[in-house]
Amino acid sequence: MECGTVTMYRNADAHWSKFDPEAYIDGNYRTPLEVDLLIVRLVRDHFGRCFSGGVPDSVGGVDVGAGANLCPALSMLPWCEAVLLLERAPPDVAYLERQVSAEGFDPVWDAFWEELRQAPAYAAVEPRSRLAEIVRVERGHLFDLEGPRRWGIGTMFFVADSMSECPDEFERGVRCFMNALEEGAPFAAAFMKESVGYRVGAHDYPAYRVNEDRVRESLWPFTGELEIHDLHHMVRPGHEGMLLALGRRNSEIATP
């Protein structure tokens, strides 16, 4: 509970084993919001630009804290030979494993794929079979990414800011994600702006309040190319919009 000298709600304190993916989808994705479709388009176009000169052989992708959101995984499909979905909460891991099974993902994600497939690189992909073929789910902790594994493209949506109230854990979450990327890797990271926490089903989850400056400051050491979109759209009370950071990993591997 202690974070510095102040008592805060840390990552280890939250009831991740009770996280309810269907309730989370009901609150966030069941009805596609224009802001989520916009995020999907911005990420699609960013990855398309990054790979416009050609896709390197055997790109591996990672979505950190994937939870009950397939959009980041779908956005990486055309560029990757393999994609890892890393997630801490067992109910989310079980949800993701069903989504990547041979039965194919739930129709709730079709509206988002529809947005992606407007770009030619995506139109050439059959998303259900491709997802089942190349995506693997792993139960794991974001902070354990400080090992030797590296990926050539990565996403982290609403995780570093939405897993703890503690500033050190936000910083560490961003650092672990960025240090998991290879030099030059395109990335997309989304953050709730000024979130005071959120409820999923019967449980409350912590957040660390960020604004555009805070996100820029945390990402800047790891990237020479960075654009931050301030999306003025509220999905619930208790936050002030969303921030989408798009960039590429620089060559400096910052030490943890």
Ligand X SMILES: C[S@@+](CC[C@H](N)C(=O)[O-])C[C@H]1O[C@@H](n2cnc3c(N)ncnc32)[C@H](O)[C@@H]1O
Residues contributing to the site for ligand X (CB under 6 A): 11, 16, 19, 28, 65-67, 69, 86-89, 92, 141-142, 157-159, 162-163
Q: Which is nearer to ligand X, 50 or 137 (CB)?
A: 137
Q: What's the min distance (Å) between Cβ of 129 and ligand X?
A: 23
Question: Which two structure tokens, joined as six digits, stand for 255?
Answer: 């030490």
Nearest to 44 by CA among 85, 83, 76, 82: 76
Q: Which is nearer to ligand X, 19 or 112 (CB)?
A: 19
Nearest to 70 by CA among 55, 56, 58, 87: 87
Q: Which is nearer to ligand X, 69 or 223 (CB)?
A: 69
Q: What's the min distance (Å) between Cβ of 156 and ligand X?
A: 7
- The rounded Cα 180 to chain-centroid distance in angstroms is 13
Q: What's the min distance (Å) between Cβ of 120 and ligand X?
A: 26
CA 107/CA 120 separation, integer angstroms: 22
CA 73/CA 146 separation, integer angstroms: 21
Q: What's the min distance (Å) between Cβ of 130 and ligand X?
A: 20
Question: If you search the block for the tokens 């030490």, which residue do you land on?
Answer: 255
Contact 182, 253 (CB under 8 A): no
Q: Which is nearer to ligand X, 141 or 209 (CB)?
A: 141
- Give the residue nearest to ligand X (CB): 67
